[in-house]
Amino acid sequence: MSIEYRLDIIRLEILVKTPSKQSFNPLGFIAYALLMPLFLLWRYSRSSSLSTWGRIWRIGAVAAVLLPLWIATYAVAGYAFMDRAGYIAQSINISGTGSMYPTFPKGEGKDPKELSKQVVGTPGMFRYPNGIVLFGKRYFHHTLGRGDIVVVDNETIKEITKKLYGKPSGLVKRIIGVPGDTLEIKGGIVYLNGVPQKEPYVARGRSTFGGSFLSDCKALTVPPHKYFIMGDNRKGSGDSRHEAGLIDEGDVQFALPWEKQKGSLDKNWHDPTNDLADTAQISLDKNAFFKLLNRKRKELGSDPLIYDGKLALSAQKRGEAMLKYDDFSFEATKSGYSMTRATAEANYYNIVYGEWPILGYYEASELLDNLFEFPEGKKFLTNKTYDDFGVAEAAGTLNSCPSHVVVLHFAGFIPPNYTKEVIDSWKNALKGLLEVQPGWNGLKTYPQYYEKHKNEVDRITDLLAQRVAYIPGIIAKMEANQWLTKEQERDVDRDAGLQREADALAKALNSYKD
């Protein structure tokens, strides 16, 4: 019996041998493995050479060997089926960019690229779409809904992430609007189908503001098979409000349903009870922001700034003009009210000016984090030529929508450092003028000639006198390495024109025969 038993095991190994890769069918193999133990038991129970007890013993011996395999096969088959149907959660790495804070933690990197490499969470998410497909129709599947956390990817997202993080990747965001929903962002609040939303998962209530795709106070109805997604850290998330735009259902790769987030991911969410109250409106502590900014500058090797009330006043004036004319350009192309004009009205003058406007409401720490999130912000705020600083807030309307802007004003001094060649050119010009000036003035002592060419002589002597009057002051400023006054700058701008006019007059006067 023992020899026959070993032969049975050999036969079993042959019977369950995996088909070649060329013809391998996972579902067929699972069915094959599940039914084979039943077939073997049936086969051995039909042997006519053994007594009833012999057959029972033989079946028991074979079952003792097959039962663990059978159980394991059913377990593996069940798992494979569940996985194939998308019912098994898969760990998804969440990077430390902070766009889904507080649901997932922020990283501790110094820039977006470094943060993107950090893993701050590995939640289990379900492949999308999931379910069982029979005759072209999907059954027992999850339907995407509001509040679901999703992993999305498409060509636009690849371009955005490559530019921001150095390599293409997907995004992890939350579904806010499903097909048919009408969304509007106003006063830091999301309105869904006209109803203001209390969102416990956001980093801070009343912290949602529009972007390039969906600006404040612009209603958007989500089309069929499209979704509107946002990060929980609304002020630090690139999402459907911005370049990413609406997401196709086919862009969704994984989903974590809303109901499966409770009890695990909601531990860091806030109580949204009072989020819609006026008292929940965010305000900027300007003094706290100034201290945080100087601390950050010191960490990065830049000298601290000096707070100047005149720059705060110019920032206030600029903010009001920005909202009034919907013109946030530094050149003030629409309003005509530039930073230099605002600083002049505030009685502040300097050489180097910088301005940064930010729409929305911010606390001191989140404003600093937002500004330093991107390389251009870091470079601007740590500019070593800046000495003075001022900040102000302005409220108004944009496109009939209540709006709020924070304006930062920077200014500093750098020496002009005129070259020797430039200074010498002015000295030589003055020397030449002083040499020829007496001769041209002397023409007035010849009455006959002077009366005939009085207009030309008076004009050329006046031009020479003007240039001789202002050039010494320009030379003195340059030799002292000081910036020219506004009047001297105007003299420099018109000097070449005056010289050309004088040269033309001299040529004409010299051509006269009398």
Q: Name the pLDDT band for 66 (thresholds 50, 70, 90).
A: low
CATH of 91-278, one of 2.10.109.10, 3.40.1190.20, 3.40.190.10, 2.60.40.10: 2.10.109.10
Q: Which residue bears the tokens 């503001």?
A: 209
Of the listed 173, 186, 235, 260, which one is catalytic? 173
- Per-residue model confidence (pLDDT) at position 105: 94
Stretch 73-89: mean pLDDT = 66
Q: Exposure string (b/e) for 219-248, b if CB count within 10 Å is 16 or more?
A: ebebeeebbbbbbbbbbbbbbbbeebbbbe
Q: Reply yes or no: is the peptide bond before residue 102 cis, omega within 30 of 0.
A: yes
Which two tokens mark 115? 């943060």
Distances (CA, A) of 239 to 16, 197, 256, 450: 51, 18, 18, 79
- Per-residue model confidence (pLDDT) at position 50: 57
Q: Name the pLDDT band for 55 (thresholds 50, 70, 90).
A: low
Whether pLDDT at 184 is above 60: yes
Nearest in space to 197 (alpha carbons), one of 182, 211, 212: 182
Which two tokens mark 395? 């409220």
Query: Known catalytic residue: 173?
Result: yes
Q: Where are the domains of the chain?
A: 2-84, 91-278, 286-412, 420-511
Of the listed 99, 116, 207, 240, which one is catalytic? 99
- Per-residue model confidence (pLDDT) at position 16: 35
Whether pLDDT at 151 is above 50: yes
- Per-residue model confidence (pLDDT) at position 170: 95
Whether domain 286-412 has CATH 3.40.33.10: yes
Stretch 420-425: mean pLDDT = 97
Which two tokens mark 173? 């965001």
Q: How many CA atoms lie within 13 A of 478 on its CB side?
A: 19
- Per-residue model confidence (pLDDT) at position 12: 31
Q: What is the pLDDT of residues 442-484, one digit of tens each?
A: 999 999 999 999 999 999 999 999 999 999 999 999 999 999 9
Q: How many CA atoms lie within 13 A of 487 on its CB side?
A: 5
Whether pLDDT at 393 is above 80: yes
Find the Cα–Cα–Cα–Cα dihedral 128, 133, 137, 140, rounded to 10°: -60
What one-character-per-residue DSSP string does 426-450 give? HHHHHHHHHHHHHHHHHGGG-HHHH
Stretch 491-498: mean pLDDT = 96
Residue 394 makes CB contacts below 8 A (sequence gap 6+) with 316, 319, 320, 322, 323, 404, 405, 407
Q: What is the pLDDT of residues 201-259, one digit of tens each?
A: 999 899 999 999 999 989 999 999 999 999 999 988 999 999 999 999 999 999 999 99
- Per-residue model confidence (pLDDT) at position 22: 45
Nearest in space to 416 (alpha carbons), one of 374, 385, 375, 372: 385
